[in-house]
Amino acid sequence: MNTSQQPDPRDRPARLTVGVVGAGRVGPALAASLQLAGHRPVAVSGVSDASRRRAAALLPDVPLVPPAEVLQRAELVLLTVPDDTLPGLVEGLADTGAVRPGQLLVHTSGRYGAKVLDPALRAGALPLALHPAMTFTGTPVDVQRLAGCSFGVTAPDELRLAAEALVIEMGGEPEWIAEESRPLYHAALALGANHLVTLVAQSMELLRASGVSAPDRMLGPLLGAALDNALRSGDAALTGPVARGDAGTVAAHVAELRRHAPQAVGGYLAMARATADRALAHGLLKPELAEDLLGVLANGTDGAEGEAG
């Protein structure tokens, strides 16, 4: 193979043409961020009406074309599709000859590292995995949120500097993740961010049911302080009835949840058990109080009626 067809990324012009395959919430925002850094979006693919609207809002005047044509037009291609779709997309693009030698191919999946791009690598592409540790709305605010956002970066050693440079150009902070650690890395983020949304939404519903007119206003300062304390102090920030070993209060909580929001009981018990384990391991929960508490959590509502009275 003629090596002149596969230029070293360090020898590339400073500015690149950029394409997006998959105009979900992530791709257009990253492309818009790269545009602010001087790169030039030239093509985007999207199927749904929502995808087309996002592309129009964040990348106005950038043409919507099929995925293969995106690769024809762009030197840097962002593959921003769902995790389960990514392997098949890469194989399909490589098998049909859409991938060009020397082309930077970037996916944004948290689950996968660079190996999922092996079919494209064999076709001469330069594979990068750049996962922004951020939740996206599909609106222009996402571009602002990328400032200071950490990116999980996985790439061949020879492309590490190129990967990190792209992250920095988007305003992010590169964090190197080993190929074999990508699933654990992604599970950690899902545990913290995705489940947080569920917990907050449930909390707001329960506050409304208890008569609170503005649950968001009530929770905002509390959750902001709890998050700040947790990030600063870890398990030392644990507080509340579980960490204190207040078995009667926890039993009353479970009884009320069974009465008014049975769908929330499972999550409450699971999180309370995890909190109790951590509080006990770190010396915050006194062993003499832990037995009654763990008994309540094991039995669900045992003792709830009497304690609640």
pLDDT digits (tens, 9 = 90+) for 98-138: 999 999 999 999 999 999 999 999 999 999 999 999 999 99
> So what's the pLDDT on residue 47?
86
Q: Which H/E stretch holds residue 232?
A: helix 215-233
How many of the other CB atoms lie within 10 Å of CB of 35? Answer: 16
The phi, psi pair for 252, rounded to 5°, reads: -65, -40
Terminal Cα-to-Cα distance of the chain (whole angstroms): 80
Residues 136, 142 contacting (CB under 8 angstroms): yes
61 torsion bin: left (phi>0), alpha (psi -120 to 50), beta (else): left
Instruction: Write down the mean pLDDT value for the chain.
Output: 91
Residues 276, 297 contacting (CB under 8 angstroms): yes
Sign of dihedral through CA atoms 86, 48, 141, 230? negative
Average pLDDT over residues 61-81: 96
Token pair, residue 125, equals 């592409």
Average pLDDT over residues 296-305: 64
Count of H helices and E strands in the chain?
15, 7
Residues 99, 123 contacting (CB under 8 angstroms): yes
Tens digit of each residue's pLDDT (9 = 90 or more) over 279-292: 999 999 999 999 99
Q: Three-state SS for 195?
A: helix
Lowest mean pLDDT among 46-50, 154-158, 185-189, 202-206: 46-50
Average pLDDT over residues 239-256: 95
Residue from 143, 149, 145 nearest 130 by CA: 149
Cα separations in angstroms, 259 against 202, 256, 263, 283: 15, 5, 10, 33
Residue from 195, 194, 214, 196 nearest 204 by CA: 214
Average pLDDT over residues 213-225: 97
Using a pLDDT cut of 90, give the percent of the chain over it.
89
pLDDT of residue 3 exceeding 60, the answer is no
CA distance 63 to 185: 35
CA distance 193 to 84: 20
Residue from 34, 8, 5 nearest 20 by CA: 34
The whole-model pTM stands at: 0.85
> So what's the pLDDT on residue 306?
37
Residue 12 banded pLDDT, cuts 50, 70, 90: very low
Residue 300 banded pLDDT, cuts 50, 70, 90: confident
pLDDT of residue 87 exceeding 70, the answer is yes
CA distance 165 to 160: 9
pLDDT of residue 175 exceeding 50, the answer is yes
> So what's the pLDDT on residue 308?
36
> So what's the pLDDT on residue 14?
57
